[in-house]
């Protein structure tokens, strides 16, 4: 079977098992989305969604956030982990948005990735979920699934992104990205994985991985 045919079949299974794939991070605009995604690094979406209401009650726009002391931001976001680094990035990027972009979040990868604490994956999420522009965010979970299902060689997150973009149509990237996240959580977790209980792995788990899990 060609890899493109496999991708189409996997998409069919994703549509069957994850018909609804809402954006997991709560937000009201591109700025609050940007902050939520930044906080989600090495943290669960559930924890972020419990923390952001407290932070956004103090400041839900770059103008107010830029005026908050970094120590106050750090104390609020401490449950999300990496709070010294994240609080500094939130403060600094908010000041840049105010000074350079009149409080607006920029709409290009180059400008987003130039902001403190914003890497390519974060920028991709903002582009596709905030601005509706074609992007395929690849985190460690999607990277793992793409390798497990034989859609990518797993050598790097960057290569996985290229492979997935080639296999799926641009108009499907936003949906497939979210479907893979939800599907992985329910049927194909990193720990305690049973390939026989995962409809996709039951068909497509890489042979070398299946041998290890038998």
Give the C-alpha separation, 199 to 160, whole Å: 21
Rounded to an integer, the average pLDDT of 96-106 is: 98
Q: Quick one: what percent of the chain has pLDDT higher than 70?
A: 97
Instruction: Match 């108009």 to its residue by tokens.
Output: 171
pLDDT tens-digit series, residues 25-62 = 999 999 999 999 999 999 999 999 999 999 999 999 99
Retrieve residue 125's tokens. Answer: 């999420």
CB-CB contact of 170 with 190 (8 Å): no
* Predicted confidence (pLDDT) at residue 214 exceeds the cutoff of 60: no
Identify how many contiguous H helices and E strands the chain contains and give both numbers.
Answer: 13, 0
Give the C-alpha separation, 166 to 122, whole Å: 20
pLDDT band at 22 (very low <50, low <70, confident <90, very high): very high
Query: What is the CATH code of the structural domain delimited by 30-130?
Result: 1.10.340.30
Whole-prediction pTM value? 0.92
Q: Quick one: what percent of the chain has pLDDT higher than 90?
A: 88
Question: Where are the chain's structural domains?
Answer: 3-21+136-213, 30-130
Give me the count of residues in the chain: 214
Give the C-alpha separation, 50 to 3, whole Å: 40
Give the C-alpha separation, 25 to 56, whole Å: 13
Query: Which member of 28, 71, 100, 139 is catalytic?
Result: 139
| 95 catalytic per annotation | no
Give the C-alpha separation, 16 to 140, whole Å: 24
| 163 catalytic per annotation | no
Query: Which member of 60, 86, 121, 163 is catalytic?
Result: 121
In CATH terms, is domain 3-21+136-213 a member of 1.10.1670.10? yes
pLDDT tens-digit series, residues 110-145 = 999 999 999 999 999 999 999 999 999 999 999 999
Rounded to an integer, the average pLDDT of 184-202 is: 92
């Amino acid at each position: 079977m060609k890899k493109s045919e496999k991708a189409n079949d996997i998409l069919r299974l994703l549509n069957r098992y994850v018909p609804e794939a809402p954006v997991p991070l709560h937000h009201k605009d591109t700025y609050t989305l940007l902050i939520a995604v930044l906080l989600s690094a090495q943290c669960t979406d559930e924890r972020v969604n419990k923390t952001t209401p407290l932070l956004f009650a103090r400041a839900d726009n770059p103008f107010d956030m830029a005026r908050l002391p970094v120590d106050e931001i750090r104390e609020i976001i401490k449950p999300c982990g990496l709070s010294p680094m994240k609080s500094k990035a939130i403060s600094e990027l908010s000041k840049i948005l105010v000074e350079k972009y009149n409080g607006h979040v920029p709409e290009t990868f180059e400008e987003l990735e130039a902001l403190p604490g914003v890497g390519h994956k974060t920028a991709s999420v903002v582009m596709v979920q905030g601005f509706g522009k074609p992007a395929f965010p690849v985190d460690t979970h999607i990277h793992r699934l793409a390798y497990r299902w034989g859609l990518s060689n797993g050598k790097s997150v960057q290569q996985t992104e290229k492979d997935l973009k080639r296999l799926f149509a641009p108009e499907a990237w936003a949906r497939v990205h979210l479907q893979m996240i939800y599907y992985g959580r329910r049927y194909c977790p990193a720990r305690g994985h049973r390939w026989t209980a995962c409809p996709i792995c039951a068909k497509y788990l890489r042979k070398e991985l299946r041998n290890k899990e038998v």
